[in-house]
């Protein structure tokens, strides 16, 4: 075996190897890891995928012990901020069992921006910053075949330790320019029965927006797969029995022409599906909504984030409350399900503005929408993290396993962490009472 790719779990525990808990069924396949595995297989590597998110602690322990008994040439670990603690526990476990020279690389949002911490632990040899498909084969070849570390200097978008110093190659963040050149990600690396939505598709990367609390914009302008390429993947899933498609693009609807082309191709092939998409309220109008519904779009999620106009400006959302209300009303009238996400605890938030948000979310729910609340969390890569001192954001809990959007890990100039938690609870109780 050349390499095992591990998707680390979002466990709130520091006892990954010892404790056990109930098995979870997760909503989404770890499609990013599947992309990397498929790319490696295409390049001739033997690869396996281990998704810890759908295993209980006893199963994880068994899988890791089996890996130690028959180790691959190297291991890659994907980590978000929430799963970073667990990812480092896995790396430490493998290093302790297989020796400090055993090669481990890591990727994902968190280490893309916070690679120094991972490398200085000496438990991670290489960090791939950004989208790794175009370089992962060279990384596996170099690490797995124990080639001299100096060869890493020729691979873009990496950070690694050499002679006690952190070396980084350009660019700062890897971005795949032509997404059509990537192979369609294979789901067969995973037990699909452990996922509620196996029809997850990424049809674009990047984001058109630069929201203060979101890191998606740090990965650059939006890049899209062609309509033909996306339709081919949907057709493949359809033939396997998948009828529900969840586009996890940050803004699927932003390219109207491409979206309509995708659905036209499916229509010609007599492929009927139900779709969930995410969009900005400024991207859809009545005519577009009519088309989307006709093509099988049953639900749309809008990022609203606040019910206060001044806070809306401060977070660079570039939408108006009036447009939100109008768009939600149109969706409800046409029988399209609407989910609206809100964030409590923005740097500009006060107790008064949060109550504006609760009131606005309540209004939307009475119209037929399904609002959801989370707590502003200054993830690495976001403006809220980079400029936290300037914005008055003070991180008070650095245990990343607590950064689950449901508890305040930071305070602002206007709101304590305790107050943010209290307002979040108030928001949930208010909605549940409707």
Q: What pTM was computed for the model?
A: 0.93
Per-residue confidence (pLDDT) for residue 57, from 0 to 100:
85
Judged on CB neighbours under 10 Å (0-12, 13-18, 19+), 389 is exposed
Residue 101, classified by CB atoms within 10 Å of its CB into exposed (0-12), middle (13-18) or buried (19+), is exposed
Per-residue model confidence (pLDDT) at position 195: 83
Nearest alpha-carbon partner for 243 in 197, 178, 288: 197
3-168 maps to CATH 3.40.50.280: yes
pLDDT at 20: 32
The domain segmentation of the chain, as residue ranges, is 3-168, 199-432
- Find all residues with CB under 8 Å of 305, minimum gap 6, and list them: 211, 213, 312, 315, 317, 341, 342, 343, 346
pLDDT of residue 241: 92
Cα–Cα distances (Å) from 176 to 38, 78, 209, 225, 308, in that order, read 15, 18, 19, 11, 37
Are 315 and 305 within 8 A, CB to CB? yes
For residue 26, the model assigns a pLDDT of: 59
- Cis before 167? omega within 30: no
Dihedral angle computed from the Cα positions of residues 416, 417, 420 and 424, in that order, rounded to the nearest 10 degrees: -160
What was the pLDDT predicted at 48?
97
Give the C-alpha separation, 299 to 293, whole Å. Answer: 9
Please name which of 38, 58, 61 lies closest in space to residue 49, comparing C-alpha atoms.
38
The token pair at 1 is 């075996």
Residue 69 neighbours by CB distance under 10 Å: 8
DSSP run (H or E) holding 275: strand 274-279
CA separation for the pair 84, 401 (Å, rounded): 7
Structure token digits, residue 90: 């896995």
Q: How far is CA 46 from CA 2, 103, 105, 208, in A?
A: 5, 16, 17, 37
Which pair of tokens denotes residue 92?
């430490």
Question: Nearest to residue 187, comparing CAs of 261, 121, 239, 253?
Answer: 239
Q: Which CATH architecture has domain 199-432?
A: Alpha-Beta Horseshoe (3.80)
CA 341 to each of CA 68, 113, 241, 383: distance values in angstroms, whole numbers, following the listed order: 42, 25, 30, 19
Cα→Cα distances 333→328, 368, 377, 411, Å:
9, 9, 34, 39
Contact between 345 and 427 (Cβ < 8 Å): no
Q: φ, ψ for residue 110 (rounded to 5)?
A: -65, -55
Is the Cβ–Cβ distance between 79 and 51 less than 8 Å?
Answer: no
Cα gap 18→6, rounded to integer Å: 18
pLDDT tens, the chain, 434 aa long: 999 999 998 754 333 333 333 344 456 789 999 999 999 999 999 999 999 988 888 889 999 999 999 999 999 999 999 999 999 999 999 999 999 999 999 999 999 999 999 999 999 999 999 999 999 999 999 999 988 888 999 999 999 999 889 999 999 999 999 999 999 999 999 988 888 777 999 999 988 788 999 888 777 778 999 999 999 999 999 999 999 999 999 889 999 999 999 999 999 999 999 999 999 999 999 999 999 999 999 999 999 999 999 999 999 999 999 999 999 999 999 999 999 999 999 999 999 999 999 999 999 999 999 999 999 999 999 999 999 999 999 999 999 999 999 999 999 999 999 999 999 999 999 999 98
């Amino acid at each position: 075996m050349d390499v095992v790719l591990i998707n680390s779990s979002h466990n709130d525990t520091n006892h990954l190897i010892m404790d056990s808990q109930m098995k979870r069924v997760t909503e989404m396949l770890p499609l990013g890891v599947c992309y990397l595995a498929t790319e490696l297989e295409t390049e001739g590597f033997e690869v396996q995928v281990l998704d810890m998110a759908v295993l209980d602690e006893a199963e994880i322990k068994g899988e890791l012990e089996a890996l130690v008994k028959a180790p691959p040439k190297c291991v890659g670990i994907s980590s978000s901020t929430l799963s970073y603690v667990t990812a480092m526990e896995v790396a430490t476990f493998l290093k302790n069992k297989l020796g400090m020279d055993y090669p481990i690389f890591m990727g994902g949002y968190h280490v893309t921006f916070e690679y120094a911490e991972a490398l200085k632990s000496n438990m991670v040899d290489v960090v791939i910053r950004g989208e790794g498909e175009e370089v992962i084969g060279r990384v596996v070849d170099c690490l797995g075949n124990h080639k001299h570390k100096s060869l890493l200097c020729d691979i873009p978008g990496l950070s690694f330790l050499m002679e006690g110093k952190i070396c980084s190659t350009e660019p700062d963040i890897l971005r795949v320019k032509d997404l059509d050149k990537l192979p369609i990600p294979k789901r067969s690396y995973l037990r699909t029965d452990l996922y509620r939505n196996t029809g997850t598709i990424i049809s674009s990367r990047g984001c058109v927006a630069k929201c203060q609390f979101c890191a998606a914009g740090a990965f650059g302008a939006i890049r899209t797969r062609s309509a033909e390429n996306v339709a081919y993947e949907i057709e493949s899933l359809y033939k396997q029995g998948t009828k529900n498609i969840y586009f996890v693009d940050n803004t699927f609807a932003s390219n109207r022409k491409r979206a309509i082309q995708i659905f036209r191709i499916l229509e010609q092939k007599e492929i009927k599906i139900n779709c969930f998409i995410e969009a900005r309220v400024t991207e859809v109008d009545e005519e577009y909504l009519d088309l989307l519904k006709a093509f099988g779009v049953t639900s749309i999620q809008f990022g609203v984030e606040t019910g206060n106009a001044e806070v809306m400006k401060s977070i660079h959302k570039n939408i108006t409350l009036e447009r939100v209300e109008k768009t939600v009303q149109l969706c409800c009238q046409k029988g399209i399900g609407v989910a609206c996400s809100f964030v409590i605890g923005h740097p500009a938030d006060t107790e008064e503005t949060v109550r504006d948000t609760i009131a606005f979310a309540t209004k939307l729910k009475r119209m037929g929408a399904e609002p959801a609340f989370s707590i502003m969390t200054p993830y690495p890569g976001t403006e809220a993290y980079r400029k936290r001192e300037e914005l008055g954001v003070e991180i008070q809990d650095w245990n990343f396993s607590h950064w689950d959007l449901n508890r305040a890990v930071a305070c602002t100039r206007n709101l304590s962490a305790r107050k943010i938690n209290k307002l979040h609870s108030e928001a949930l109780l208010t909605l549940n009472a409707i």
